Every structure is written in structure tokens, then in C-alpha cells.
Structure 1
Amino acid sequence: MLLFLIFSLFIILSYIIYNKNKKKRLSSNISQYDHAIIIGGSFAGIITAVYLTKYFKKITIIESDDVLNDKLMKSTPEEIMNNRCYLESPTSLGRTGVPHIYQPHILPIEGQNILKELFPNLFSDLLDQYNICQYSLNHGAKFVINNVTLNENLTEKIHYFAIDRFILEIVLRKYLCSKYEEQIQWKCNSKVIQLLTDSSLNLVQGVKYRLKQTFVDIYGDFIIDCTGQYSSSIKWLKNSFNLYIPSEQIHFGCGYLSFIGERFTTNNSSLDSLYLFVHTANVPLNNIGCYIAPISVIKKTNENSLGILSSVGINSNNYEHPPSDSFEDLLEWIKDKISVECYMILKSIKVFSPLISYKRGMDYRKYVEILGKKWPKNFILLGDSMCAFDPQFGQGITHICRQAKELNKIFEENSSELKDISHIYNSRASKISDECWIASTASNWKTSTLKVIRTNQYGETKIFRRNENFSNSSKEYQLKTPFLIKFMQWYNYWLLHCASKSGKLSTEFLYVINQHKNPIVLFKPTTFFSVCFASFMSYFHLSKKHA
């Protein structure tokens, strides 16, 4: 009995000491590791770098573009806005790495919260210096998905910032250079060409990059690939470790045509009061969507001006890309493909910028979690490098923020060795991607020209196409819609139908697509019953009207 009491006391004391030490470790802000290397200095690289400043003495960001040139970093807010409006292409300021940077970008709830934690003064500075717009979905906005208006009679206030990504990245880089000048080093105009590895230890030790005609080896304790959906990591891991990343590409003919313009009155007060207008494509009935988002309040050029500078994006699916020759040709082409309200707003816009076309959008998921501990140590993919979504649902920036925050949590817990963090991160970050993936891709599976490319962990690649596009060859297979996707298409259709009549359900749906709530909230028993009931009533023709 005495031995039992002594043993129990020993266990209790050990537990107390362990938790005390753990809390001490968690509260410590002392950098534990020497050097982190981030490949890519765009949004994902910036956010990740800020989180890692707590754990690494030095951080190197290797960026292929000239993102710290004087034209970008030393211009006044007014000069930056002027530069933004009149750029003919990203290459005008040496920005070749992000050709889709001009697409409208909306920063919803969860993304806002994370940025506020990292940069407490960011939004006040953007409001004061750049005159960006903050608005509420409860008024001054129209949010239409599959012809269903979702922001009517919302039960809670939902605030958005419409922030031009081009401007946001410049502002964030200025913050990094001023606050972390000694800790974060930039290697611009530098292209990473391979990983430096020890295959016997399954370890990534650093990278080799090219600066002009010079090749440089740089070593670090932890390496993060933030280069986006066209990351070279698939090639690097195959060459260094003979490792194949299971992946899925969904090609549905996605593209964008973007431009900047000043809003003028349409002589319709209800339309003129809308700051934000979002009308997604409704495939396969309609392949075109339109996004009109304010980026700045400006001085009115005349009495008919609304004093709003807006970013406009024409989203196209099924390869039905809009013309970019002239604004007049665009208006003529689009007038029968979008809602009358949207067309009236577009007609009233005075275009300031060139029409920038981008035609390479797709859904691209890399299933890194399947590889488990086969995945190399000290190396991860983050953001679009791991999972890129259909841009029309605006999930990319928030997805990046959430994955970077999850990486921070793993380091903060301080319960794992550095060599184990990569596969722990892969498992947890993939769950974040999963929340967005099915909902984002379900509607794309309706596309008639759909092509899906799947690669397994043995490097075997198969191409799947719709029946009408399928060629009976050894390399192509008939595409069959998975049951889960069919279920989600059915469920989404009737969920939107119910949401159009319920402010509470509409609010929950918007919270989910803004990644502020887990999608499971849309499958609550009451919601599930409402969806099934609406479908049942329509099937037996018992309802007077259905969507």
C-alpha cells in the first residue's frame, strides 16, 4: 500500500512538473532554431515568415521577382495606386510570378482575424492611407451564388474588406522590412532550382538558387515552399527522394479577365448603393460570373461619379473566355451572359487600366498526408503549393492564413522535434484544405468539358474526361462523377434554396464559405431535415415554387 502511494505521488508530481515546463516553453518567445528558408515571397511567404519569427533567429525569403524595387517600396500610397491602375501586365514592375495578381480579392472574416493578430495596425493604415473600403454584407452588397441571393435578412453582421492584392502585398512587405529588418533577409531575383537533401536521412537541408549566372547553396533548419500551385516540389521530390506526391487536377476551363475602373451612376439608386456585387457562374446553365469589388474611395471626377475605384473580374468556365481587345467588345460579348443588374453597373464604369486576361485557373490538390513519414523531414508545402481552389469562391488568401497559423500552433506546442513537424503539419493542414475542397469543386464537376488528372503515390498518372470528349486510348479514361460529389451537388442546390428563405441559414452558409465556421454546421439535423423536406416537396410537386 505504501509503495502504491509513493508511486501515485511520483506520477502526480511528474505530471505537475511536465505541465509547468510545458507552459514555460509555450510562453517563451526565445527563438529555438537557427534558420528557416521560405521559397516564394508573395502572400503565403509573407504570412509564414511573420509567424516563424518567434521560432527562428534568421529567416531567408527567396523570391524570383524583383519585389523590393524602389518603384514598389518607396512610392507613396497615391503613386502605388496609380501604378496599380496603369500597369499593362505584372512584368511592368518585374512581377512575373503572380500573373493572376490583378483578379479581385476579397478578404472575409477569418482571413481578417488572422491578419489583425499579426498586424494590429494594418487595417487602420489601409483605411487612412489607401482609402480602402470596409463594408457590411448586410447592406451595400449583393452576393449571388447559383442565382440565389444569400445576404438578405442576415441574422448577424458580416464585414468585409475589399483589398487589392497588389497593394496589400506591397504594404505587408513594407511592414516586414521595417519591423524584421535584421531577422528576415530577402533574396530577390533569385530562382530556386533544386532542394539540397540527404536521402539516407530523408532530410531536406536547404536549397540551391540561381541569381543571374551565379548558383548559390543555402542551408536551413526548416524549408517551406510557398511558390503556388505550379510549385516545382513535385519534380524536386521525385529527383531527390524518388517520391511521388499523390495529386488531383480538375481542369474546368477557368479564366479571369480583370480591370480597374471608376464607378459612375446608373440612375438606379439601388444599384448605385451597392459597393460589392458578386454573381458566381452557374455551371452548366451559365459559364460566366462577375465580381465588382471596391478597392478605394477616390475624389469624384464629376457630379456623376460615385467616388469609388473598383476592381472588376469576369470569371469564365468551360473555356468560354471573354475578349480582351477592348471594353466595348467585352460589353457586347457579355450583355447576354450576365444579369441585367451586373451589366448596368459595368456599362457605367470608366475603365482606368488595361484588360488583363488570365486563363490557367484550376483546382489542384496535392495529397501530401497520404505519404505519412515517407514525406521528407524539415520541408512542407503551404497554401496554393499544397491546394489551389477555383478562385471564384475567394478562399485562397484565408486558406493560406489558416495553414500558416496551424504551422504556428505546431511550433507553439513545442511537443515535437523539428524533424517530425513536417508530417504533423501535413496531416493537420490537409484537414483545412479538405474543408474547402469538396464544396469548391462540386459545382466544377458539372462542366461539360471537364478533365481530371490523377497521379498516385507510385507515379502512375491517369487522365479522365467526360464521355463526349473521351477518346478510347490507353492514356484516357471515362470520367464518372463520384457519389460524394453527386450528393454535394444535390445538397448544395437545395441548401441554397432553403438559405434564400432563411436569414439564419444564409448567415451560416456565408460563415462557412468564409472559413469562419466548420462546414459540419450546414449538416445539423434541423438543416439536413429542411434540405430533405424541400427536395421531397419538389419531387412530388407539392410545393408551389422551387428553385
Structure 2
Amino acid sequence: MAGLLATRVLARHFTMVTLIERDRLSDRAEHRKGVPQGQHFHILLKRGERALTQLFPDLGTALVAGGATVVDIGADMQIYQFGGFKIRCPTGADLLFLSRPFLEWHVRSRVLSAGNVTTRQEHEVTGLVTTEDRGRVTGVTLARADRAGPLETLAADLVVDASDRGSQTPAWLEAFGYPKPPETTVTVDIGYTSRVYRRTPRDLPGTKAAYALPKPPGERRFGALFPMEGDRWIAELGGWLGEHAPAHEQGFLEFARSLPSPEIARALPRLEPLSDFAVHRFPANRRRHYERTDRFPERYLVVGDAMCSFNPVYGQGMTVSALEAQALDGCLSGPNGMDLRGLAPRFFEEAARAIDPAWLLTTSEDLRHPGAGGARPMTLRLLNWYTGCVFRAAARDAEVLRAFLEVMGLVRRPVSLLRPRIVARALAGGLR
């Protein structure tokens, strides 16, 4: 998704953009090999929906018309978190529930309709081409995905790595004499199993979606039953630190019965399966801090999972990719315009501002699990103590719930939870 969104932005500013894709792209909304997580649940947070609407003004309307479900998290969604259910009330904090192939197809069709965008499908980038002094990237070398045929060179004024968490950029930088970017990793050993079912209005009485999250340290399992287009559910069960759901009927249902709330387990046996089980593993959150690099080649950028990959349980990845695209657009539209000198540090600084809140929210929650690997400074312990108060208060206090959901939707920064009125209500409700 990050590559498509970057392509959309670049097409506004350059005469020709080439999108290099290792898969053969379909003209339908269907799963593809290069996106293994595409078979699992996807949501678009409120901030992400706004960002995509700026890039594609008609996209939101088209997604809803095609069957995506708008869910007010407070009014329409049953959330069990930190040992209790969130209070049910209208919040205006909407999520858009849909499948990854459905969203990607809508975005891709709009991106590729631009007259100045071309694709090289079933190809992979094998390396960078630079000036003799290694100071500027001037293109890439390409190979067919099946490695048949010779390498070829594609010249470019700007190259953007939108690959994935296995990005080769750190190795290429080191080979050219640049330092690798500093990395922060929080290991989680998340594993989850998903299955698609037929959806009817009777399946989850009184709610449009159900989400059950554990209360660490004693609990590590989660479950979700979320709507998708085509009158379908996607059920996803999994957990942290090896608590992975089985990919067979009996084990899947038994795992659901072990969740800290019973709603998903009650619904699943009545649903009609429409797919096989799909399994995904996610070892660690990983952030490459390109904003901290002292030296970096000109005319080269990194976006998406190649820069930062998040625990997918929190549903932030697509929204952050959209915010990075906004940051890129801002850099290319700003006072320096199309002067590409110094673009990389400007962009990485702006992208870091978009990543920081999501990274803090994700990793601070993951590090509640004692077996998760990562630094735990005193500030993190204080943060988790206070957010625990927020979680408990949000089970009873609608104002605290709204403030919390604004932060989780990336509409407000986490510091907004320190407003005096919210602090008072969070402590009053959370310390009972």
C-alpha cells in the first residue's frame, strides 16, 4: 500500500513514474502472493481515511458503496480490553472495515489511471545505481521475478524503496560506505489465524464488530470478528509470545473459547465458512530511524514497512502509510518545491512525526507482556500505569473513551490524554 500511495503523490510532481511490482497485478480485488498479510483483517483508522480522501477524493464513497462497513467504535463495536468492556456510546470515532485486496484494488485502479504512471510487473529491484562518488542515486537495476533474462538498468531522478520489512536498503547503504540506520526492535512473536465466514444481521446481535484483547501479564490471547465487504466476516484469533491459534476447526473453536470474553466463541459455531484458514506470523515491531542518519544519498527515500513495521493487531499500518504519503507530498510542495537536494532528511523528519505516535502506542502496549523484548525505561512504566487508568475509566466514562479513541485513531497525539480534565476523569475512574 505504501508504494501505491507514494506513486500517487509522485505522479502529481513528476512527468513519469514507474511502479516496480514483483507480482502480476490482477484487474480484480483478490489476494496476491506479495502481500501475505492480505488474508487477515484490515481496518482504516479515522486519520487514515482523511488522508486517503485527500489523495483520492472519491475513494471513501466508492469503498462504502462497494460494501465496506463504517463502524463507530463506541456505539457499534464491542471492545473487551484490560479486563472489561468499553462503555457503549456514540463517539464519532469511525473505523472503516474492509479487506486488504478490496482497498488495494480501489487505490491501485486510481493510481494506474494516471496517464504518467507505468508498471513493471513481475520484476524486482536488485540494486541501486549511483554517481561515481556514491553521493546520489541515479536509478536501479531490475531483474525478472523468476530471474529469467538479463539485468537491466532503469534511470530515475528519484528512487523510493517501498518494499517491505525485509528491505535491502540498509545493506545497500553499507555497501556504498554509508552507515546503516539505527534500529529499534520490540519482539512480540505474534501469530494469528484467520478465516472468512458469511455474514448476516443475526450473527452479532446489537453490534457490528467484536474485539477481545488480553490484560497482560496474565493474558496473551486476542480475538476479532470484523465485517468485510461482500456480506462477510473475518474471524481472527491469535496471541503474543507463542499463543498462536490452530489452523483447524476444533482447535480454532477451542482457542476462541479461551478468550477473555465469550462473544466471538458464541458466534463462530453458527457461521458458514467461506475460506480455508490462513496463518501469519509477526516476530517483532521494527523501526529503522532514517531520520537519525548523519549521511544519506541524495534522491533516495524509504517508506512503509521498509522504514517501520508495526504489530498488525492494532491496525495502524495502512494509516501510517497514508500519513507518510502526505508528508512526501508536503515536502515536494513546500518552499523548496522540486529542488530534490536535501529531500531525504526533510522527508524522514516529517515521516518520523507521523510514525512517532503510532510507534509509542503499539510498543508501549506490547511491552506490557513480560516476555516481549525491548527497553523498559521508567517513563514507559509511568505511561503504562496511566494508560491503564485510562482503559479502566473508558469502561464507564464516555468522555474518557472519546479522548482515548481519538488517540488510537491517530486523530490526536498521545499527549492529549494529559489534558487536566481527562487526567482527572481517568484517575477518578481508573483508580476505583
TM-score calculated relative to the size of structure 1: 0.74
SS at match of 2:22: coil
Matched, 1:353 2:278: no
Q: 1:205 & 1:339 partners in 2: Cα distance? A: 55
Matched, 1:365 2:365: no
2:48 counterpart (111, 120, 127): 111
Q: 1:510 & 1:134 partners in 2: Cα distance? A: 15
Matched, 1:449 2:407: no
Taking the TM superposition and a 5 Å limit, the aligned residue runs for 1:388-403 are: 388-403=309-324
Taking the TM superposition and a 5 Å limit, the aligned residue runs for 1:233-312 are: 233-263=169-199, 271-297=204-230, 308-312=231-235
Q: 1:282 & 1:194 partners in 2: Cα distance? A: 45
SS at match of 1:511: helix
Contact 2:130–2:136 under 8 Å retained in 1: yes
User: In the alignment, residue 481 of structure 1 is paired with which amino acid?
Assistant: R
Report the counterpart of residue 252 of structure 2 in structure 1: 330
Q: 1:49 & 1:162 partners in 2: Cα distance? A: 24
1:321 counterpart (235, 244, 267): 244
Report the counterpart of residue 382 of structure 1 in structure 2: 303
Report the counterpart of residue 386 of structure 2 in structure 1: 491
Q: Give, in angstroms, the shift of residue 430 of structure 1.
A: 0.8
Taking the TM superposition and a 5 Å limit, the aligned residue runs for 1:184-199 are: 184-198=117-131
**RMSD across aligned positions (CA):** 2.1
Q: Give, in angstroms, the shift of residue 265 of structure 1.
A: 7.3
SS at match of 1:402: helix
Q: 1:405 & 1:144 partners in 2: Cα distance? A: 33
Q: 1:448 & 1:346 partners in 2: Cα distance? A: 31
Report the counterpart of residue 162 of structure 1 in structure 2: 97
User: In the alignment, residue 103 of structure 1 is paired with which amino acid?
Assistant: H
Q: Give, in angstroms, the shift of residue 348 of structure 1.
A: 2.1
Report the counterpart of residue 6 of structure 2 in structure 1: 48
User: In the alignment, residue 133 of structure 2 is paired with which amino acid?
Assistant: S
Q: 1:387 & 1:169 partners in 2: Cα distance? A: 20
Q: Give, in angstroms, the shift of residue 192 of structure 1.
A: 0.9
Q: Give, in angstroms, the shift of residue 533 of structure 1.
A: 5.4
Q: Give, in angstroms, the shift of residue 323 of structure 1.
A: 0.8
Taking the TM superposition and a 5 Å limit, the aligned residue runs for 1:454-493 are: 481-493=376-388
After superposition, what is the alpha-carbon deviation per residue over 1:343-384, rounded to whole angstroms, capped at 9, x for unaligned?
112222211101000112421111111114x12211111122
Q: Give, in angstroms, the shift of residue 532 of structure 1.
A: 4.8
Contact 1:264–1:348 under 8 Å retained in 2: no
Report the counterpart of residue 98 of structure 1 in structure 2: 35
Contact 2:86–2:396 under 8 Å retained in 1: no
SS at match of 1:321: coil
User: In the alignment, residue 485 of structure 1 is paired with which amino acid?
Assistant: L
Report the counterpart of residue 132 of structure 1 in structure 2: 68
User: In the alignment, residue 328 of structure 2 is paired with which amino acid?
Assistant: L
2:410 counterpart (490, 505, 515): 515
Q: Give, in angstroms, the shift of residue 197 of structure 1.
A: 1.9
1:46–1:528 CA distance, 2 compared to 1 (3 A): same
1:119–1:534 CA distance, 2 compared to 1 (3 A): closer
Contact 1:193–1:210 under 8 Å retained in 2: yes
Q: 1:200 & 1:102 partners in 2: Cα distance? A: 44
1:450–1:137 CA distance, 2 compared to 1 (3 A): closer
Which of the pair has more CA radius of gyration?
1
Matched, 1:437 2:355: no
Report the counterpart of residue 18 of structure 2 in structure 1: 60
Contact 1:283–1:444 under 8 Å retained in 2: no
2:108 counterpart (169, 173, 179): 173
Q: 1:495 & 1:167 partners in 2: Cα distance? A: 35
Q: 2:84 & 2:135 partners in 1: Cα distance? A: 50
Structure 2: tracts of 5 or more residues without a match? none
Q: 1:241 & 1:227 partners in 2: Cα distance? A: 22
User: In the alignment, residue 332 of structure 1 is paired with which amino acid?
Assistant: E
1:532–1:126 CA distance, 2 compared to 1 (3 A): closer
Q: Give, in angstroms, the shift of residue 246 of structure 1.
A: 0.4
Q: 1:103 & 1:151 partners in 2: Cα distance? A: 27
User: In the alignment, residue 489 of structure 1 is paired with which amino acid?
Assistant: N
Q: 2:160 & 2:215 partners in 1: Cα distance? A: 36
Report percent identity of matched pairs: 20
Q: 1:317 & 1:223 partners in 2: Cα distance? A: 36
After superposition, what is the alpha-carbon deviation per residue over 1:257-283, rounded to whole angstroms, capped at 9, x for unaligned?
11111135778xxx3232111222333
1:213–1:322 CA distance, 2 compared to 1 (3 A): same
TM-score calculated relative to the size of structure 2: 0.93
Structure 1: tracts of 5 or more residues without a match? 1-42, 85-89, 298-307, 453-479, 539-545
Q: 1:481 & 1:429 partners in 2: Cα distance? A: 24
Contact 1:389–1:395 under 8 Å retained in 2: yes
Q: Give, in angstroms, the shift of residue 184 of structure 1.
A: 0.5
SS at match of 1:446: coil
Contact 2:178–2:296 under 8 Å retained in 1: no
After superposition, what is the alpha-carbon deviation per residue over 1:85-139, rounded to whole angstroms, capped at 9, x for unaligned?
xxxxx5xxxx3221111111111211111222222222333333x3232233343
Contact 1:199–1:241 under 8 Å retained in 2: no
Contact 2:225–2:235 under 8 Å retained in 1: yes
1:410–1:148 CA distance, 2 compared to 1 (3 A): farther
SS at match of 1:213: coil
Q: 1:56 & 1:145 partners in 2: Cα distance? A: 46
Q: Which runs of 4+ in 1 moved over 6 A?
A: none
Q: 1:418 & 1:243 partners in 2: Cα distance? A: 21
SS at match of 1:96: coil
SS at match of 2:139: strand
Q: 2:386 & 2:312 partners in 1: Cα distance? A: 22
Q: 1:533 & 1:174 partners in 2: Cα distance? A: 50
Contact 1:378–1:419 under 8 Å retained in 2: yes
Taking the TM superposition and a 5 Å limit, the aligned residue runs for 1:194-209 are: 194-198=127-131, 200=133, 202-209=135-142
